[in-house]
Amino acid sequence: MASYAERCDKTSRLLRVALSRLVDAGVDTLPALISAVDLCRVLQLLPSAEAEANSATKAKAAAADWAREKQMLSAICSKEWGDGLAGDIRRLLWVATQVRERFSLDNWHAINRLQQRLQRYSAAAEALPPVPSDALAFLDEVLLTSSSLAGFAMDNMTRDDGWRFLIIGRRIERLVFLANTVAGFLRLDSTRAAGSLEWLLELTDSIITYRSRYMTQPQVLPTLDLVVFDEGNPHSVSFQLQILVRYLDNMTRLLGGPREESMRSARAGLQAFDLGRFEGLSFSQCRTCDPCLDLALMLGDISLAAAALSDRLEMRFFSHVGDVSRQTFAS
């Protein structure tokens, strides 16, 4: 439940970042749009550039901006692309029905509203081709519901084992997303364009904090400090590691078993990284420089460690009735 809720939230944020720049696209915003679309491809929310190049029909049928628009709208609700965001929302709704007894009435109303909004958007998209403004409105509604679900969990749920797993699941999913996002961002040449650091801060819900703290245009060192290393920022990589270490230790104390060390090691490695290597670096001019590549590699390892942690927790604490493949693996 927690993983799907967080996945829907982060996918919606990334698609909103890209679509909003598509709507406002002009001479100054087009480079930022291209970099946002490139990151969507890296995170497999859109078809790869190679897949697009191999489609001769698509290349001949429309200009590049129209193709981007069609792909981003398809990423929201399209059977051709794994059902896109809508598919994850439906999986979230199904999982929610399996743990219905743990939700308050207000929490369940929020889930029902999300289902109704998805049904309306899907019906409208089938009747007429969706437009970016309608898609942005739908993404805003998804994010509003996501915030409501997170708020209900913090305010209404009893602090039992189910709640602890909900928090751990959200933090793991957010950690994987943030680590992969920043790693992909650092590796892409297109993100060196003007406006890219700004949308990265917007994507990580850190733009207001950055502006109030630095009162300057986004620069690479303070941006990375905020979205990767700042343990006080709930949307940073370090914050997720900090919370996971705390909750995993508490879970070991309450439920027994060996202590999880993977997140502790990842946190120590990140704390040892010399952020000063980015001092004086002109992000707009660097191309796959050593500090960017080294940090991207470390974040990639953290993402893999978090995914492996999720699998271990799933196999250890969750039953898989009727799932023969998992039962065989667990044995």
Which residues make Cβ contacts (< 8 Å) with residue 117, sequence separation at least 6? Answer: 138, 141, 142, 145
For 300: left if phi > 0, alpha if psi spans -120 to 50, otherwise beta; the answer is alpha
Residue 83 one-letter amino acid:
D
Q: Which residue has the higher pLDDT, 296 or 330?
A: 296
Pair 22, 68: CB distance under 8 Å:
yes
Share of the chain above pLDDT 70, in %: 87
At 47-73, the pLDDT tens digits run 776 555 555 444 443 456 667 788 888
pLDDT at 326: 42
Q: Which residue has the higher pLDDT, 295 or 60?
A: 295
pLDDT at 259: 86
Share of the chain above pLDDT 90, in %: 49
Distance in angstroms (rounded) separating the CA atoms of residues 90 and 86: 6
pTM of the model: 0.89
pLDDT at 63: 53
At 210-236, the pLDDT tens digits run 999 998 899 999 999 999 999 999 999
